[in-house]
Amino acid sequence: MCGIFGFLTTTTSEFNQAKNHRVADYFLKLSEARGKDASGLALIDAEKTRVLKRPVRGRDLSRTHEYRELWQHSPRLNGFLGHARMVTNGSEETHDNNQPVLKSGCLCLQNGIFVNDSDIWPRFPELRREHEVDTEVLISLFQHFRSQGHLPVSALVRSFRETKGANSIALACEDLDGILIATTNGSLYFALGHSGQELIFASEKYILKKIISHSAVAQYFLGVQPVQVRPGEGYVIAYDNLSPQLFGLDDVQPTVELNATSPRQLVDLRPAVEAAPRRPDHSGKLLAYEKLLAIDERPILALRRCSRCLLPETFPFIQYDQEGVCNFCHNYAPYKPQGHDALQQLVDSLPRKGSDSPNVLAPLSGGRDSSYAIHYMKTKLGMNPVAYTYDWGMVTDLARRNVYRVCGELGIEHILISADIRGKRRNIRKNVLAWLHRPELGTVPLFMAGDKQFFYYANMLKEQMDLDLILFSMNPLERTDFKSGFTGTNENYSKQKHYHLSARSQMQQVFYYAKQVALNPAFINSSVADTLFGYVSYYLIPHEYEIFYDYIPWDEAEIEQTLQAELDWETASDTETTWRIGDGTASFYNYIYYRMAGFTENDAQRSNLIREGVLSRDKAWELVHRDNQPRLESILWYCDTIGVDFAHAIERINAAPRLY
């Protein structure tokens, strides 16, 4: 879940050092959209490949004294390779986890996740794991197969056969006279200059197009269009002949190879002082934490609830008739999906841009609904969507792995937009601490304000990629309007769009939050601008999209069976449900709702399923009681990730005023 890039020139190219420097700076800046946790650059000359990587965003790396020195010591280049990292496996505070990853005389850039890396090491006991980052497993396999007599391309093909997940890589070794690039899902593009002496590659077509139009390189790429490396393909790019030579990742006997050369030394410019990764120590405390989370459910079980669904008397704006049936049941509009044929007709009506060209953007969170939807688009509708993920810092590693499982299995290009994750988490921390100072149910959504920009970036990508449709996967049976209900806004009506507030409700919310900020000034912090941006993205900007589940019936059993059987989809270890397991905030805020109001999102969702006739009330109650149990592992991760003391937070929640 990163950005990889590179620029290579032949020894006869007229491209000079100053231009190389400018292009690298621009690459580092543009690639921040794909990762801001760490960045790295490798400069390749005839004798050495010098690698500089630090746990800072790209533009900050380019401003360092070390970066300037790097360029001064590399007067004549063959090119550079670079990376912008969003952390998944391995802390960015550990130097060896950052990219480019170096091991056994090789350098590797990776965009993606090898989701089965922990299974590979035991199967190859002769390999020695040294780092946490999953990129290491590919280098180790590659050199292992070379040691058995396989040539480089054959060794890379065999290495990919052992791995799972959507991945794009660039690999360079001390003893090879060029690089190998490859992808399992198509998230890799290159452009060869019209003279054949300059070549650029990047994870994303838009970034590559911006680079080749840069003033430093535009004259070398006039009229050149980016070429996609198709899923399951790779290329050999020799330093002395940049014309890419194609091979397939399923080739039994590759017909192209990369020649050996006299060693070009890999030099890792390590920092003078390497910080030890900060890991909270919870040893000996877990039993105490479990006791803190223990809830006396007798008062919750004693709450009056709708005789038809499960909504309790603490639910905002609820009313019961003489038979005990709530107004939400009376006002419920049955879910009537339009069906497969209607969606097929919509897809067929879109302009054709070539058999392999995508024309639909499919947001993919790593959750069950979006994972199933994109599988259906590819396998049942014959579509070639582009998957899009907005990572705001609370997308769990489990969700990230599932994103790359799905895209890898289906061969789907994936675009990641990475927020400033450190900044987002600081903002969450400030709002959580402010909330703990004065707990109020209506202000809980401020914890999640930072994720709402996913609408804005979806619109941006649709325009950048010249796509015709955004096909979201919100589930209409999972509406949680009670969250806005706690602010005093009544949204108990049928909506044409999943995310919408009437003008009156918007004004009510503005006045509510203004009052809460006046009562709790701690909410006036660095998160305000981001919260306002989120509000505008969520409620005010144009939302021109279609919803997959407005067409295809939402069937929980079908979704779960498909994910497990066909996508090897991963589930959480601390709960039996598959809902919300990729959202790092859900277990925390649902604990708040359960403690303070006696219900959670589960009650609302299962009540909708009762109204649909999908679940009996007894079965729904059984599932709700199971899924409402506090998730220690997930809540602990949330607190550690944003830097909030777990015990203090839970004690404050437990002491907060309740509605029952």
The CATH number for 253's domain is 3.60.20.10
Q: For residue 492, what pLDDT is reported?
A: 65
**Pair (359, 259) in one structural domain:** no
Q: Say yes or no: 307 and 262 in one domain.
A: no
Domain boundary among 207, 240, 268: 268
Token pair recorded at residue 225:
């269009």
SS (H, E, C) 450-514: HHCCHHHHHHHHHHHCCCCEEEECCCHHHCCCHHHHCCCCCCCCCCCCCCCCCHHHHHHHHHHHH
Q: How far is residue 83's CA from residue 131's CA, in Å, rounded to a whole number?
A: 18
Q: Tell me the pLDDT tens digit for each residue of 357-375.
A: 888 999 999 999 999 999 9
Tokens of 12: 């006869």
Alpha-carbon gap, residue 180 to 164, rounded angstroms: 19
Write out 125-191 in H/E/C secondary structure.
CCCCCCCCCCHHHHHHHHHHHHHCCCCHHHHHHHHHHHCCCCEEEEEEECCECEEEEEECCCCCEEE
| Paired sense of beta strands 386-391 and 360-363, if any | parallel
Backbone angles phi, psi at 36, to 5 degrees: -125, 5
Angle at 139 between CA 149 and CA 5, to 5 degrees: 125
Is 414 among the domain residues? yes
In a domain, 280, yes or no: no
Residues 217 and 318 in one domain: no
Distance CA 102, CA 267 (A): 9
- For residue 562, list its beta bridge partners: none
CA-CA-CA-CA torsion for 516, 520, 522, 527, nearest 10 degrees? 0
Quick check: is 277 in a domain? no
Please say which residue of 268, 301, 327 terminates a domain.
268
List pLDDT tens digits, range 536-567.
888 888 888 999 999 999 999 999 999 999 99
Q: Kindly state whether residues 54 and 153 are assigned to the same domain.
A: yes
Q: What is the pLDDT of residue 355?
A: 65
Stretches in the chain below the pLDDT threshold 70: 1, 354-355, 492-500
* Joined tokens for residue 127: 């390999």
What are the tokens at 291?
């006791």
Neighbours of 115 (CB within 10 A): 24
Does 121 share its domain with 156? yes
Task: For residues 231 and 342, state if they share a domain.
Answer: no
Three-class SS of 288-338:
HHHHHHCCCCHHHHCCCECCCCCCECCCCCCCECCCCCEHHHHCCCCCCCC
Provide the domain limits for residue 607: 286-655
User: How much of the chain, in percent, has pLDDT values that exceed 90?
Assistant: 86
Q: Are residues 562 and 635 in the same domain?
A: yes
Task: Note whether 446 and 546 are same-domain residues.
Answer: yes
Give the span between the Cα atoms of 8 and 237, in whole angstroms: 9
- Number of folded domains in the chain? 2
Cβ–Cβ under 8 Å, residues 438 and 519? yes
Among the three residues 202, 235, 268, which one is the final residue of a domain in this structure?
268
3-state DSSP percent of the chain in helix, strand and coil, to 5: 40, 15, 40
- CA–CA separation, 104 vs 173, rounded Å? 9
Secondary structure (3-state) at 532? helix
* 462 in Cβ contact with 470 (< 8 Å): yes
Asked if 165 and 237 sit in the same domain, the reply is yes
Examine residue 551 and state whether it is found in any structural domain, yes or no: yes
Q: Which residues share a beta bridge with 471?
A: 546
Short-list 637, 188, 187, 155, CA closest to 425: 637
pLDDT for residue 359: 87
**φ and ψ at residue 76, rounded to 5 degrees:** -130, 110
Task: State residue 354's pLDDT score.
Answer: 66
Alpha helices by DSSP H, 356-449: 368-379, 397-410, 421-437
Q: What is the pLDDT of residue 358?
A: 87
Q: Burial, 472: exposed, middle or buried (Cβ in 10 Å; 0-12, 13-18, 19+)?
A: buried
CA 587/CA 294 separation, integer angstroms: 14
Q: In the structure encoding, which two tokens stand for residue 389, read together?
A: 């993920």
Flag whether 163 is in a domain.
yes
pTM, two decimals, is 0.94
SS (H, E, C) 48-83: EEEEEEECCCHHHHCCCHHHHHHHHCCCCEEEEEEE
* Helices 632-642/421-437 angle, 10° precision: 110
- Report yes or no on 577 lying in a domain: yes
Say if 276 falls within a structural domain: no
Whether residues 481 and 339 share a domain: the answer is yes
Q: Do 8 and 117 share a domain, yes or no?
A: yes
- Domain contains 356: yes
Burial status of residue 488 (CB atoms within 10 A of its CB: 0-12, 13-18, 19 or more)? middle
102 with 246, same domain?
yes
Side chain identity at 177, as an amino acid letter? D
Closest CA to 350 of 462, 247, 464, 187: 462
Which residue do the tokens 């289906």 mark?
410
